[in-house]
Structure 1
């Protein structure tokens, strides 16, 4: 009887031990350990409170660019796709991996933890962010790499279009927290451009990054921002052939109209054709960049159009003078052929002074327009330089 009771006691102890072992093993498996870990970390955690337990939150920001979606010269805007890595430490999210089945990192949704409010200062529209999770190490270090589609203001100087180099700046920083709460620092690694794709007519030459400490009129505290500058160079070979070369030739042909003989109306026709060509080039330039009046090429075409207008007026004057000279010559010819009886009345034809005057007038206009053309180009280039 006693042996039976001993067997029952030993059997119950063995069942309890095995059950405890099974429960303990199940309790410490990775999914259960992570669930316990997340519950323990977030039970007394508040996501709206910054982790300033050890001073200002040190946030390291990095940059990886994918491609430019568009670059709009007319509206001075650009759209870019990029990844922005952020790393900081939150002491409230530290744990001992040995207590949680050697779990040394977990993934948490960004809505569950505090994240720095990095905003775009010069954005044209709201910041479109592809939602991503944050990786938390057992040391409390957090890594967050969101993907952005950003429309931002790009102040472009089109003075030297189409041989221009543009610099578009992307300014990011905290919207609420000043430098005593959040300290932004640049990543030691240079911006990653391995995924960059060429956009339209521009080639990316370089990306510069700079950390700035500024004081704004609204507040006494200093705020930190990070500025990325994209240096883009336009590929001008196509514009040289279809825009720059015709514009330069049209301007020089305006001077060449005074070398055309004024014995017919070909000069006036050439001036009118050049006027229409220059107007067409100005319209084409305006379609490419609506602010074409601010470029050297636009000013050059406007100046050539102005000279061609006066060339048309001078061609009309020259043509009218030439017609009056022809009428006088025809009248003199009729008088020379008029014979009265046996006595021939011969009229001595005076030298044609108007013809020599017209040649001198054309040469003087050519010299005057050439000097005006050179001075005008020097003024345009001087103002833009």
Structure 2
């Protein structure tokens, strides 16, 4: 009996001690249930963001699975860069994306007539638009981290600055007067056309170029944008893409002074070589200078142009052919100098001399050399007549006169002048031949 009384007292005392804790716990529960008054006054934007994004899933497409989300794409190009060594094109632009998010609709009257809401790009669902022909694998980083604009109708506008580097098949055959055609192909990476439909932003076939900053080497002559739907063998549904076609023309006045002008200098030096006197040793110097100029430009082309298996630039082929021509011209100069300077023991064949002294020689501009040959021939003939010694031998047994003529060495100048005439004729014929050859090369490599 006494034991039960003691237990009852202990339980009563414990209940007295627990009562304050239970009271405080109940009061604490009541306090947490009622939201505390914030230290600042929340705006309509805060309330709208909380209501829209509280349970928002940015990884779920904001349409029913049987409805397609329409995304309108547009582009405004700011600047371009072409890298011939990597066969790539870099485009700096502003990309414009507009789509409708049914989960981000609100009534402006309930939020102080708030008509636009700024949201970070990582807070809302975004279409997975990628550059299909990108030169790098990190295509997702091409878009800048800019905010999106949300409207009460659920329309989302996102205009991120972007930098796209695409692979472009460059044809440098007509470098530096070439025109290149490249394209940028955008599309969804995971959604088909039944889930994400891509359309043109302003239904215009031309790309906006109002913000374009001129490039010092290239200019855009044509910029088109098209929507193309492709059906692959693996799937029955279409896959639309947004493709921008660019036609680029190289600005080449500077190349004309750097590359084309020296080509004319090489041609002139090679042609002047044939109008020097046949004995002039400067022929070798001029040809060597022309060959050195060509070799320097070949090294320049090696640094400037990529090593291409196809479409070798015509200007490179022209310089290569010119190097061969200058080499053969130097070989011809050596032959001409050798003919004109060597002391020959044989006379020039009569038929060759008669041909060069006739109309052919006049047509070749050999009048001076023909006149010198005739003057030398007349002078040598007179000297021979004076140098002829006639001696009479009177023998007792015979009355006949024997005339002994001693040949003079003065016939050698006449013989040497004939060979000079032949060397000059070779120069003139070579001039005509190389003029035709350079003309053919200029016509072929200019087309």
Deviation at 1:152, TM superposition (A): 2.2
Residue 263 of structure 1, CA deviation: 1.1
Residue 124 of structure 2 is aligned to residue 113 of structure 1:
yes
1:147-182 CA distance string (max 9 Å, x none): 112222233322222223333322222111121111
Distance 1:132 1:370, change over 3 A: same
Residue 252 of structure 1, CA deviation: 4.2
Q: Give 1:308 shift.
A: 0.9
Look up the match of 1:358.
423
Contact 2:278 2:420 in 1 (8 A): no
CA distance in 1, matches of 2:41, 2:283: 91
TM-score w.r.t. length of structure 1: 0.79
- Report the Cα distance in structure 2 between the residues aligned to 1:308 and 1:175, rounded to whole angstroms: 58
- 5 Å-filtered alignment, 1:197-276, equals 197-216=213-232, 219-276=235-292
Partner of 2:432: 367
Counterparts of residues 1-385 of structure 1 (less than 5 Å) = 31-53=42-64, 55-68=67-80, 70-125=81-136, 126-127=138-139, 128-188=142-202, 191-216=207-232, 219-290=235-306, 294-325=312-343, 345-347=406-408, 349=411, 351=415, 352-381=417-446, 385=447
Change (3 A) 1:314 1:191: same
* Partner deviation per Cα, 1:199-252 (whole Å, 9 max, x = no partner): 232233342212222234554442222222333333222221222111133134
1:270 Cα offset (Å): 1.0
CA pair 378-205 structure 1, distance change in 2 beyond 3 A = closer
How far did residue 378 of structure 1 move? 4.0
Cα separation, 1, equivalents of 2:345 and 2:238: 86
CA shift in 2, pair 1:49/1:288, >3 Å: same
1:272: Cα distance to partner?
A: 0.9
Moved more, 50-59 or 131-140: 50-59
Note the alpha carbon deviations across 1:27-69, whole angstroms, 9 max, x for none: 9x9944433433333344322222343732111111122223x
Shift of 1:274: 0.6
Provide the C-alpha distance between the structure 2 equivalents of 1:76 and 1:215, rounded to a whole number of angstroms.
Answer: 29
Instruction: Looking at secondary structure, tell me which structure has more strand per residue.
Output: 1
Q: TM-score, normalised by structure 2?
A: 0.69
Q: Is the 8 A contact 2:85 2:306 kept in 1?
A: yes
After superposition, the CA RMSD in angstroms is 3.2
1:13 alignment counterpart: none
Q: How many residues align?
A: 349
For the pair shown, the structure with the greater C-alpha radius of gyration is: 2
